[in-house]
Amino acid sequence: MPRSKGRNERIFCTELHRSARTIRPAFWWKIPDMGLRNHFDIVCCCKRKFYAIEAKISKNKTSIPLVDLFRNRQHEIAALKQVQGAGGKAWILINVFNPHKWNYVLAMDPPQYEWLVASVAPKKSIKLDDPIIKREILHLDKSDGVWNLKPLII
């Protein structure tokens, strides 16, 4: 299968792994896809807490296609909620990317994601400049090639 050109989820996960070095000591593992139906992309253990992370990427120039991010992948949200129910932390990280314009991450837990989807319904996406995103959703920025993961790993 040919590799896709440009930014993709694999590149984003590699950046996250590189960024995890700033939260040591931590165990960080990217779960290989290999065509399997995985529950989430990354597991992390840090400061006696377990974290499950699902990484998504949005390259849409005007909005984030919230519903499409998990189309036919509802098992991922269910697994993240199960981690939360068992006492772990679960994060959905959406890398919002437009070359030479913006590159940031929106971070939310599964209930917050479901709230966001419900708040824009019946629409299936949310505009990038929507005040809800700026006011209610945690933003992560990149500095010196590293994502600031400290707000997530507390």
- Using CA atoms, how far residue 70 sits from 117, 118, 135, in Å, is 11, 14, 23
Question: What domains sit in the chain, N to C, each tagged with a CATH number?
Answer: 9-146 (3.40.1350.10)
Q: Which two tokens stand for residue 130?
A: 């929507």
Per-position pLDDT tens, the chain of length 154: 444 567 788 899 999 999 998 887 889 999 887 666 789 999 999 989 999 999 999 999 999 999 999 988 899 999 999 999 999 999 999 999 988 888 999 999 999 999 999 999 999 999 999 999 999 999 999 998 899 999 998 7
Torsion of CA 75, 79, 82, 84, to 10 degrees: -130
